[in-house]
Chain A
Amino acid sequence: MLKFANFAHGDLMTLGMFLALAVVVDAGLHGGAIGPLSFGWGMIPAALVAMAGVALVVLGLDWLVFRRLRARGGGFITMAVASLGIGIGLRAIVQLIWGPTAFRYQSGINEATTIFWDLKVKPDQFFIFGLTLLLVVVVYLLLYRTKLGKAMRATADNPDLAEVAGIETEQIRRWTWVIAGCLIAVAGIMLGIQAQLRFSAGFHLILPMFAAVILGGIGNPWGALVGGMVVGISQEVSTEWINTGLKPAVPFLILILMLLLRPRGLFGSTI
């Protein structure tokens, strides 16, 4: 909807992940254990803090950078390059505050269960998949069933016509940033639960994320879910046949193939 590829997305995820760390570990709010999950109830206030923090940061960045570039007619490249710079800055800030060390929300082992054959899934991974599914449904309902969502889709379709229909498009863009900020923060936390927390964790996910979005179809929430699953599983399964060190090349390959064969994605771009 904002009409550019946000290269700061991964680093904003890192910020969300570390804001949650600040609550759970730095402030010591672990909370009691939630069943077999590796984290405790403290993750709920931590997620709220991270969502609010990232939403505020992206709103501030829009006000400070993107809104001004839009007003000057800044196109896709200008905005994308600006976001690249913002990403580098955010990464440096996270590294300055938390340092280069790797962290975990909670130490200990999250036992995996064998589902069938040799497929083992940890309770955390079940949780992450369930939450992702829930968030996709929420985003779908927001976009297709609410007045705000329809205004977001209209603004994405044709911002001038949206203005003519009486929609304050700048306000809609701000809402889009807030919603995106909250989702980015949750994604960052899910990444932190699944892997270690490093200042560069989100940055390394940028390419697989773009591959997933292009695979699913830009602006299509269901497409993003399927794209993410295909890219993620392909990366992991590929190690059966290729050297583990070559694993990061898999999203590149998917990206190139999709752009060549079906640039609108598997399900087509909807907004």
Chain B
Amino acid sequence: MTLLEARGISAGYGAAEIIHDVSLRVGDAEIVTIIGPNGAGKSTLLKTIFGLLRSSRGRITFRGSDVTRASAPKMVAAGAALVPQTDNVFPSLNVRENLQLGGYRRRRGTAVRLAEILRLFPDLGHRPAERAANLSGGQRQMLAIGRALMLDPVLLCLDEPTASLSPRMRSQIFERIRAINEQGVAILMVEQNAKEALRLSDRGYVLVAGRNALEQPGEQLLANPDVGRLFLGQETASA
């Protein structure tokens, strides 16, 4: 069943349109990855879906409701969560406070959920009073994902969750993403580490110059020679 659907979305910053007529669909408990070269509009698409940017054309529906004009807090209230690529934690707040703020809209059960999140990310559980500004890149990413999970979202949007992380930390993050998805949370992810992300994904979209270029199951995209040549570095490997 379709959870999120974007149809014919165009959006950008001021007069500069970055994405043109882009469509995308995420089903219940699916993992969908968007790949594409730098500047393809992947992050812009996520921000538009989440209400941080206004679309000039197109329609977005989430859980059957029109959310084209919904603000970010409304998307959160509807059951979506977003982890931005950068500045995704509150640096002057400690780990516990960051997670508590993730549950800002919760009426009850914050402490229980917080304990669950700290169990999911044991690295954070060891330092609840540490200021987020003092965490490593990987710990920050885990805190950002933990913060996004505080409201039990049905859809988790991740903007380049493994950017600038070590290979070991990257595997840990992908492992956690899989674990989160196994709990029934749909994942919409923008990722530069396309191979690992597509291996994990049910479906993938390729965006080029702000337009839909391709949509295929993750494994097929991995095997697609055009995608391999363009984004997975296979041309260099075969040369």
Contacts and interface: CB of A to CB of B under 8 A. Distances in A.
On whether the two chains bind one another, the answer is: yes
Interface of A: 147, 150-151, 153-154, 157-158, 160-168, 270-271
A167 B88 contact: no
Contacts of A163: 52, 71-73
B77 interface: yes
Determine the interface band of chain B, counting residues with CB < 8 A from chain A.
20 to 34
Nearest to B144: A161
10 contacts: A150-B101, A151-B104, A153-B93, A153-B97, A157-B93, A160-B72, A161-B84, A164-B76, A164-B82, A166-B105
A168 to B, nearest CB: 5
B36 interface: no
B100 interface: yes
Contacts of B82: 164
B92 interface: yes
Contacts, number: 61
Given A150-B101, A151-B104, A153-B93, A161 B88 contact: yes
Contacts of B77: 166
What does DSSP make chain B's interface, helix, strand, loop or mixed? loop
B100 A150 contact: yes
B102 interface: yes
Nearest to A156: B92
Interface in B52-76: 52, 71-73, 76
A166 to B, nearest CB: 3
Contact of A151 (B72, B84, B101, B147): B101
A271 B101 CA distance: 15
A168 B71 CA distance: 9
A147 B52 CA distance: 24
Given A147-B104, A150-B101, A153-B93, 12 more contacts: A153-B97, A154-B90, A154-B93, A154-B101, A157-B91, A157-B92, A157-B93, A164-B72, A164-B81, A166-B72, A166-B73, A168-B73
